[in-house]
Amino acid sequence: MKVATNQYFRELTRLLTEQGGEVASLQARLASGEKNLLPSDDVNTAVKVLDLNALMSHHDTQQTNLKNLDSRLVQEESVMASIGSMLMRVQELAVMGANDTYSADNRRTMAAEIRGYKEQLLMLANSRSSDGSYLFAGAKSGSPPFVAAQDGTVQYQGDATRLQIQLDSGQVLEVNTTGFELFAGGSNTRNTSLDAGSAFATLENLALALESADRDGIAAQMDEIDSLRLNMELARTKIGVRRNVIEVRADILEEQKVSLTGLLSENKDLDYTQAITELSSRMLALEAAQTTMSKISQLVLFNYLR
Amino acid sequence: MSDLLAIGTSATQLYQKALTTVSNNVANLNSVGYSRQEAVLIENTPAQYGVHYLGGGAFLEGIKRSYDQFIEQNLRTSASEVATQRPLVHYTNRLIDMLGSEDNALAPAFDRFFNVAEQLSLNADSIPLRVDLLSAADFLAGRFRNLDQQLRDLDTESGRDMSSLASQINRLAGQLASVNQQLQKNTVRDAQAPALLDQRDRLLNELAGFTGLHVTEAANGEVDISIGQPGNLTTLVSRGTHTELSVEFPVDRPASQHLVLDKYGRNLTLSGISRGELGGLASFRDDVLAPLMFQLNVLAESFVNEVNTAHRSGMTLASEAGGDLFTLTRQFRVDNGSQQPVAGVRIQEAEPPALQEHDLSVTWFGGEQWQVLDHRSNQVQALQGSVQGDVLQLHVAGLTLRFEQLPLPGNAVRVRSDSQAAQGIALAVTDPRALAAALQYEVTQDSDNAQSLTSRLSAVPPSANPLTEDIPSLAQYSGLNRPVSIATSRTQPALQVPAGLAEFQIAFLPEPGSSAQIELFSAHFNHLLGASKAGDPAALAAMQPRFDNAEHYLETHRSASSAGSFSYRGLDLFYGHRAAEFTQSVAIPAVQQPANSDLIDQGDLVLNGVAMPALRIADGATLTAQHVADWVNDSGSAVTASVVTIPMTDSQGNALTDPDTGEAMTHDVVRFSHAMVQWRFGAQGKSGDLALLGLSTGLYGSGTVPEDLLVYMASPAPAADGTPLQAQVRAGALASAGDAAPGALDEQFTVHFSQPAGQPLRYEVRDANGTRLALRDFDMQRGVALPGFSLHFDRAPAAGDEFSVAANRDARGDNRNLLTLISLRDAEIVNQQTVHDYYVTIVNTIGNVQKISTLNLQASEIIHDQAVNEKSVVAGVNLDQEAADLIRFQQAYQAAAQIITTSIKLFDTLLSSSR
């Protein structure tokens, strides 16, 4: 089959430039380390990368949230521990105060100490997190949940809202412990002063009972303190459970993140071995094309017409 | 002559020409579109000598141009095909780079928005995190606008490409036409100059790259060229003339174009270009770019609507209802149909805005008569607008049109909406405290409740009540005063009064003696006005279908018709007839006094607080205005009555004239004078009593309507059901749904559960003042339905349980509305897909187009290369072949020259022999 001379040269040139182009693109990819220089090189991969990035960033957010929640729970737990040990001391005082061996002066000192604890309890119950919101106020975290009136009674101004966050597994995690849960074992009622603030009333009543050497009164208040301690333990246990859930979830997230990172790298990163092999074979082809072209183009009949 | 010398000389000349042809081929080795020429040598006619023929040498028949018509056609077709795919590949690559790159794509912006929202949900009152969320939202809106702008730039660029291609096509068409003119000089193609034919073919090939061609070749080589879709071709070049192609871009639709032939002459619209670069560009714009822009708008609009709906049901840090988080500026175009804009028209959209495009032609016929043609559904409606001063107003298709300049009567005004959501999306909130993370309402449980339940409040968006959708609503009479025909019925409501209406009035004038009356119910079967139905189970059963079947009949706040004025939840109501000073009755009906009864019994009517005595005149006498006036004046009420004579008018208000005498007719009416004349009913009073005095009976409401109400036009006698009555209806302004329901955030509701013996568990809803709103059977699935909310429990409440729902103030740490917002990430809110998946699908779709057109390009390139090769086999110059021909013809020339030498020698021999 006849091949026109200029067609022959055109074909060869085209092949040469094509090969040259491929070599150049391979070289660019080797230099950048990316499998695809542009999304249009491989749409499927580009889309997968979008999906993977979405998952990764969501995982990061969840991990941050879990960490922050955990540190809040740690703080809540330590407040409860302090309250717990305080209540224990109060109980000791109550036992001592019920004992006749102590004088009225001693009892007054004890009452003063107990009142001191009441102040401390108020401070602890109004604890704030690192960003300034009140820990035990339910959703009304902008203002102190426990407010002392002029006459010394303490009212709970917070609410009973249990805040939650959602995890991507569909799990729901409780965030806070309300004032009700802290002191009253948790209930959602409209009767705010009686239940949540009664811890303070108990301490006040105990102090009064000590001062007036009212043994029955002291006994009654000791029962109250017992149930307060029980509620505190219950709340602490709940926090412990939540921290466990967080730990498990954080571990799972970490594992998932590792595999996501691997997937992302598979899609985005260049396989150097394969690329370099391809480069050498293309360069070989290019060289061969160039050499043959220079040799064959010499063969023209006109060269022999002398 | 067949002798040596002649043959020799003709042969040398012949071979000289042949050599010239060969050298021409060699010289044109690299000329574009050159077809190899070959000298065709033919044997000369031999001379006859007796029985022998002596050959006469050879002559040049012609220079043949190597040409194959079918190969040429193949070449053109394959060139068109290749050129079609190139713009698709080029532009889809650019689109994918735009949409799929990690820096530019929309998906990461969504991710960032939702991720920051999740972080905020842990600390809903953190101002720095709120600022973060606002900036993430702003970033998202900015990305949308950015992408939209890039797409518009592509639209402009590809449009410009098309325009420049069109001018290239015109240039080539013009050149082809002039080539045709030159070809006209000969009648046979083989006689045409090869160079001319080469030029023609070259032009045709170039043109084929721009658009698919249909070429018809005449006998002399002239060509007619048509373009367009197969089966619908239009002529571009016809012999020596050509028509110009131009591309037009409609203003209102992005990425669309019209191809027009002969714009300034016959202005033909092309059905479309099928192939070639122009066809590829058109296909890109129609099949890829335009749908993409539409999809981006759909994504923006759906996302914004969902986010805004969620945000509006939340509470900000300042304890106010959340507003819109994003705004979409929707463009409206108003013109007079031929693209001339019309000024002075303001358009407002109903809230929430419908996700629909509008394309309406609105024609005003004077007064309040309008006609509207919806171009998308091709339906014509006659509508009534309203006139307020110099401003015309019309409600149609969810829009309120205000014409501040009078339009031309009878001339249509075109109103089109441009839902370019991706262009107009912007963040509406700048203050971090205005982010509505909390719920608007909060549930508290009474301490006496049997057990502590977990409850969940969810917002229920306002929507039409399916049970009463078909009942005409007073909202359509907002700002108007209209007559309405109502059929009496004891069980079907006649009208609905929507919540938020500022005031209303429904008045009717029945026959004298009629006992038709207005009854008023709330949408929850709470009886507000009328005779008790408690003892009429049949009537209750007949009315129940209009109410939810769990609703029970309540009449705690029912006023008997005789109450006159009463109020319900801030709405003041009056039933009877009420009029300001100097009002007069209509004409007193000419009623005859029957023998044994009073016309109006004692105490049936109460005027300004005074029970009226019986109205009785002489037996058989006809009631006149004077009788009535006397009766009123003798009653002891503070109202005085006088008789006046006024002209009679028909229903349109035109004065009536006596056909016999030609004079205006008059009648006597009673005029009442008091600052406020109030008639109400006594215990046995009925509307017919007022009708006897020429007075209408009406229900007057002032103050904002607190909830949806239903108006019944009832008649105690069953036989009277279906009697049509003419009522006059007036209504005030209706607060739009975008404003919070009146006093909503200050509302408080209580829910009381009870269980009468043998009955299912039921609950009662009361407002803050203890007004009973509804009594319903309780169902765990449906929960408790409250205005705008529903309340669900994890376990069934017990009889005696009480809950209250109040505004959730100062709940700075409440993140529950934020959780709703966050859940939108995984919700299928666009075309049954999440926002991320919808976007990814868009990118994938374009990726598919790219892959297919790349494969098509590769395939058509192979075919095109084959066609080029085939042509070069037929028409290409091979140097080796030419060199061989050169040697061949050179030797032949030498040999022919030798013949001449020989013939000279022969002649010399002949000459020398005769010496």
pLDDT in tens, B37-58: 999 999 988 888 889 988 888 9
Taken in order A51, A57, A63, A66, the sign of the CA dihedral is negative
B419 φ, ψ (degrees, to nearest 5): -85, 70
CA distance A6 to chain B (A): 6
Q: Give the integer Cα–Cα distance in Å for B37 and B39.
A: 7
Q: What is the arithmetic mean of pLDDT over B719-736? A: 79
Of A4-13, B307-316, B408-417, least confident by mean pLDDT is B408-417
Q: What is the DSSP letter of A190?
A: S
Listed by number, the residues of chain A in 176-205 with a beta carbon closer than 8 Å to a beta carbon of chain B are: 176, 186-191, 195
Q: Give the integer Cα–Cα distance in Å for B888 and B41.
A: 13
- Please report which confidence band the pLDDT of residue B746 belongs to, taking 50, 70 and 90 as the band edges: low
8 Å CB contact between B426 and B148: no
Q: What is the DSSP letter of A34?
A: B
- pLDDT tens, position by position, B842-897: 999 999 999 999 999 999 999 999 999 999 999 999 998 999 999 999 999 999 99
Of B141-155, B276-290, B446-460, B680-694, least confident by mean pLDDT is B446-460
Count of CB atoms situated within 10 Å of the CB of B469: 10
pTM of the model: 0.79
Name which of B611, B623, B636, B637 is nearest B670 in CA terms: B623
CA distance A62 to chain B (A): 8
pLDDT score at B742: 36
Contacts of A6 in chain B (CB under 8 A): 29-30, 872, 876-877
Candidates B812, B885, B890, partner chain A, best to mutate (most A CBs within 10 A): B812
Q: Is there a contact between B107 and A50 if contact means CB atoms under 8 Å apart?
A: yes
- pLDDT tens, position by position, B108-127: 999 999 999 999 999 998 99
CA distance A95 to chain B (A): 33
Give the pair of three-digit tokens for residue A195: 């239940």
pLDDT score at A189: 46
- Please report which confidence band the pLDDT of residue B419 belongs to, taking 50, 70 and 90 as the band edges: low
Q: In this model, does residue B355 exceed pLDDT 60? A: no
Q: Is there a contact between A65 and B804 if contact means CB atoms under 8 Å apart?
A: no
Q: In this model, does residue A28 exceed pLDDT 80? A: yes
pLDDT score at B512: 84
| φ/ψ bin of B187: left (φ > 0), alpha (ψ from -120 to 50), beta (otherwise) | alpha
Strand B245-248, strand B258-261: pairing: antiparallel
Q: Give the integer Cα–Cα distance in Å for B695 and B512.
A: 10
- pLDDT tens, position by position, A65-102: 999 999 999 999 999 999 999 999 988 888 888 777 88
CA distance B1 to chain A (A): 36
Q: What would the DSSP string read from start to end of B55-72? A: ---EEEEEEEE---HHHH
Q: What is the arithmetic mean of pLDDT over B463-489? A: 80
pLDDT score at B398: 72
Q: Give the integer Cα–Cα distance in Å for B766 and B776.
A: 12
Q: What would the DSSP string read from start to end of A126-187? A: T-B-TTS-BTTSTT-TTS-SEEE-TTS-EEE-S-----EEE-TTS-EEE----HHHHHHS--
Q: Which of B29, B442, B445 sits opposite A5 (nearest CB)?
A: B29
pLDDT score at B615: 85
Q: Which of B115, B813, B869 sits opposite A163 (nearest CB)?
A: B813
Angle made by CA atoms A199, A201, A203, in degrees to the nearest 5: 75
Q: Is there a contact between A43 and B438 if contact means CB atoms under 8 Å apart?
A: no
Query: Could you give the count of Cα atoms lying within 13 Å of B881 in the half-sphere of its Cβ?
Result: 17
- Please report which confidence band the pLDDT of residue B739 belongs to, taking 50, 70 and 90 as the band edges: very low
Amino acid at B777: D
pLDDT score at B738: 44
Q: Which of B93, B844, B879 sits opposite A300 (nearest CB)?
A: B879
Q: Does B866 touch chain A (CB under 8 A)?
A: no
Q: In this model, does residue B267 exceed pLDDT 70? A: no
Q: In this model, does residue B743 exceed pLDDT 50? A: no
Q: In this model, does residue B464 exceed pLDDT 70? A: no
Q: Which of A4, A161, A165 sits opposite B811 (nearest CB)?
A: A161
- Please report which confidence band the pLDDT of residue B585 belongs to, taking 50, 70 and 90 as the band edges: confident
Q: Is there a contact between A50 and B886 if contact means CB atoms under 8 Å apart?
A: no
Question: What ranges in chain A are assigned the alpha helix state H?
Answer: 5-32, 43-98, 104-125, 179-184, 192-196, 198-211, 215-268, 272-296
| Residue B431 neighbours by CB under 8 Å, 6+ apart | none
- Please report which confidence band the pLDDT of residue B582 belongs to, taking 50, 70 and 90 as the band edges: low
Of residues B798 and B451, more confidently modeled? B798
Which residue does chain B place closest to A2, by CA atoms?
Answer: B873
pLDDT score at B391: 80
Q: Does A288 touch chain B (CB under 8 A)?
A: no
Of residues B484 and B166, more confidently modeled? B166
